[in-house]
């Protein structure tokens, strides 16, 4: 456990009438630093909340944005919703798979990229859309996946709770 986690947990708990409401904010905060939620993290968070590990695990596993496996520095979510599909998202996904040499759901060997499907990202007017570490890339050309991989921002700049 990192020393600051205790402090964060206390701060979040003070903000809500029910202590468990602080659980998701803490998981978000830790994941923003660590990149994912390991078994050890689940254990530590359970201790901080005086909850069974199984409870924390049941919450963490319910939500698709909590990663229970190690992910790449950049998590690429390709929207595969209907409006994006009509604008070529499947083709874009294929091109990304080819370009990165991995399949959807996998992480590149150098730990740089994880490629995932997303459901409708509420940007259907800009289809097809992708999020890289939850930042939008809109109106993409399905044949030009490279623009997604050239973003200059570091993930640290991009994801803060």
Partner 1 sequence: MSQKYYLLRNREVADIDRMDVYLAHGGYQALKTALTDYKPEELVDLVKKSGLRGRGGAGFPTGMKWGFLPNDGRKRYLVVNSDEAEPGTYKDREIIEKNPHQLVEGIIISSYATKAREAYIYCRGEFLFGAEQLQRAVSEAYAEGFLGENILGSGFSVDLKVYRGAGAYICGEESALLESLEGRRGNPRLKPPFPAIAGLYGGPTVVNNVETITNVPAIVTYGAEWYTSMGTAKSPGVKIFSVSGRVSRPDNYEIPLATPLRSLIDDYAGGVLPGHKIKAVIPGGSSVPLLLPDKLDTPLDYESVLQAGSMLGSGGCIVLDDSVCMVGATARLVKFYREESCGKCTPCREGTYWMTDVLDRIERGQGTEEDLDTLMDIADNIGGKCFCPLGDASLGVLVSAMKFFRDEFEAHVREHACPMGAKLYDTVNH
**Residues making contact with ligand FES (CB under 6 A):** 79, 81-84, 120-124, 127, 129
Q: Please select the residue that binds partner 1; options are 7, 54, 58, 70, rule is CB under 8 A.
A: 58
CA-CA distance, 55 to 154, in Å (whole number)? Answer: 33
Q: Sign of torsion, CA 28 29 31 37?
A: negative
For residue 109, the minimal CB distance to partner 1 (Å) is 26
For residue 106, the minimal CB distance to ligand FES (Å) is 21
User: Counting contacts by CB under 8 A, is residue 27 touching partner 1?
Assistant: yes
User: Counting contacts by CB under 8 A, is residue 130 touching partner 1?
Assistant: no
**Residue 22 binding: pick among partner 1, ligand FES, none (C-beta 5-8 Å cut-off by kind):** partner 1
Q: Please select the residue that binds partner 1; options are 91, 102, 137, 155, rule is CB under 8 A.
A: 91
For residue 116, the minimal CB distance to partner 1 (Å) is 10
Helices (H), the chain: 3-15, 23-34, 39-49, 53-62, 82-86, 89-100, 146-149, 155-158
Report yes or no: 13 and 26 within 8 Å, Cβ to Cβ: no
**Residue appearing with tokens 């809500």:** 16
């Amino acid at each position: 456990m990192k020393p600051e986690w205790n402090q964060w947990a206390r701060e979040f708990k003070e903000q809500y009438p029910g202590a468990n409401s602080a659980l998701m904010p803490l998981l978000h905060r830790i994941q923003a630093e660590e990149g994912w939620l390991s078994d050890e993290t689940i254990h530590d968070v359970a201790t901080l909340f005086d909850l069974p590990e199984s409870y924390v695990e049941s919450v963490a596993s319910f939500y698709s944005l909590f990663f229970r496996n190690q992910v790449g520095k950049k998590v690429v979510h390709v929207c595969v919703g209907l409006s994006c599909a009509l604008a070529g998202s499947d083709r874009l996904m294929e091109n990304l798979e080819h370009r990165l040499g991995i399949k959807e759901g996998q992480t590149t060997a150098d730990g740089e990229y994880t490629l995932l499907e997303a459901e409708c990202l509420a940007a259907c007017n800009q289809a097809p859309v992708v999020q890289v570490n939850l930042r939008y890339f809109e109106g993409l050309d399905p044949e030009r996946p490279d623009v997604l991989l050239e973003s200059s921002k570091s993930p640290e700049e991009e994801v803060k709770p």
